[in-house]
Amino acid sequence: MKTSLQPPLPDSPRPQAPHLKQILITLVCGVLLAGGSCFGFLNTMNFNGPSKTGNALFAIGFVVGVALVVSVAVRALYGIIVYLIRMARGEQ
């Protein structure tokens, strides 16, 4: 079986970009992850003694959630710009 990565043929449909539904789901998940991790971090924080072991995991979860939100915002902005350019060219 021969498999090679070839570019799509000119008359084949172009792959679709993520739609609004996928962007919104990822955005909501990122916000929930960041919010839940922030709550967990603050809930397990001990100001008068040693910190608990879960704090590092909550901090990592918060950073990942914020990174998800930022990446989705950049992707949504890119999609809007591409959409506006295509409308200006009359491709839509």
- For residue 4, being part of any structural domain is answered with no
How many Å apart are CA 19 and CA 37, to the nearest integer?
27
User: For the chain, what is the domain count?
Assistant: 1
- For residue 2, being part of any structural domain is answered with no
How many Å apart are CA 41 and CA 57, to the nearest integer?
8
pLDDT score, position 29 = 95
- For residue 49, being part of any structural domain is answered with no
pLDDT in tens, 60-91: 999 999 999 999 999 989 888 988 888 888 86
pLDDT score, position 82 = 86
Which structural domain range is residue 37 located in? Answer: 20-44+54-89
pLDDT in tens, 12-65: 666 565 578 888 999 999 999 999 999 998 888 877 777 777 888 999 999 999
- For residue 3, being part of any structural domain is answered with no
- For residue 8, being part of any structural domain is answered with no
Q: Hey, how many other C-beta atoms are within 10 angstroms of the C-beta on 12?
A: 8
How many Å apart are CA 58 and CA 39, to the nearest integer?
9
- For residue 24, being part of any structural domain is answered with yes
Residue 90, classed as helix, strand or coil, is coil
